[in-house]
Amino acid sequence: MTTAILFPGQGSQSLGMLADICDIYPQIKDTFQEASDALGYDLWQVSQEGPEERLNSTEVTQPAILTASISLWRLLQSVNPVEAKCFAGHSLGEYSALVAAGVIDLATGVKLVEQRGQLMQKAVKGRETAMAAVLGLEDQVVVDVCRDSALDECVEAVNFNCPGQVVIAGDAAAVDRAIGGLKQAGAKRAIKLAVSVPSHCALMKPAADLLAETLESVALNEPSIPVIQNVNAAVPSGLDELKANLIKQLYSSVLWTQSVQSMAGLGVDRFYECGPGKVLAGLVKKVDRSFDVVCLSDLAAWQSSAE
């Protein structure tokens, strides 16, 4: 089988994540220690003991998920090496993919996503914003309803996660208007999400401009394995395009359905989800139930994949 490695985004974190795996494979903590040294605080302790409010704050959540994801990738490679055709990550997970591919090192990665989280919060400080998951409509219907609901505010389709599942984001009032319109259009559900920032919509443009300044000083290496990027569901032509796509990613839609289809076009038929939770595994199966999907989010799943 041809394998791709997937890395999850924000929302996959939970207190105590990877604890059962770390009991058997204590080298998980080595990766967390490396990240903690870069960040200046004990990231493992926060991920295990909280408080939950701190773990769920964007500037902590992002390095925590990245570190958890890389710790699992390193463990997999040390115990049961996998030859990957490509990497892909959902939103924040794209940074995990870049670390795994050697484009940036872990210390650089966790500091980058920590700042990314801070910039995202700052971009909408004092502004009422929201995100919502929409189930049961065609992508274009969601796009059209958002356009018609925006008026002089912002609401956009931002995550195309799988057929029939789209996430929208923007100003809270505009999201509310869109939810009403989407239900009228026949959505099975339109549910607001418990998030603090409206990721991947135009409101994130100020954050992207500031992130661009930071990325100018970051040296990137050629990826050891191709990385499928969110903004165009494709492998970049070079490091300049890769960096430009990272900046654009902050205020552009995550094309996850198309990314999975792109990987399938490369011959991929098996996916390993490296990170806490099982969100991406579920989305991949909804794109094509024939795909083989392995979650490395708990000890039982990890051990069965490593046999």
Catalytic residues: 91, 200
Structure-token match 């579920």, residue found: 282
What is the per-residue DSSP string for 97-164?
HHHHTTSS-HHHHHHHHHHHHHHHHHHTTT--EEEEEEESS-HHHHHHHHHHHHTTS-EEEEEEEETT
Q: From CA 103, how far away is CA 107, in angstroms rounded?
A: 12
Residue 277: both structure tokens together: 């939770």
Residue 99 contacts residue 27 (beta carbons within 8 Å)? no
Structure-token match 């958002």, residue found: 146
Q: From CA 236, how far away is CA 290, in angstroms rounded?
A: 27
For the sheet with 3-7, list strands across it: 227-228, 84-89, 3-7, 270-273, 292-295
Q: From CA 302, how far away is CA 88, in angstroms rounded?
A: 19
Alpha carbon 218 to its chain's center: 21
Q: From CA 276, how far away is CA 247, in angstroms rounded?
A: 25
Torsion angle of the four alpha carbons 174, 128, 156, 265, in this order, in degrees rounded to the nearest 10: -150
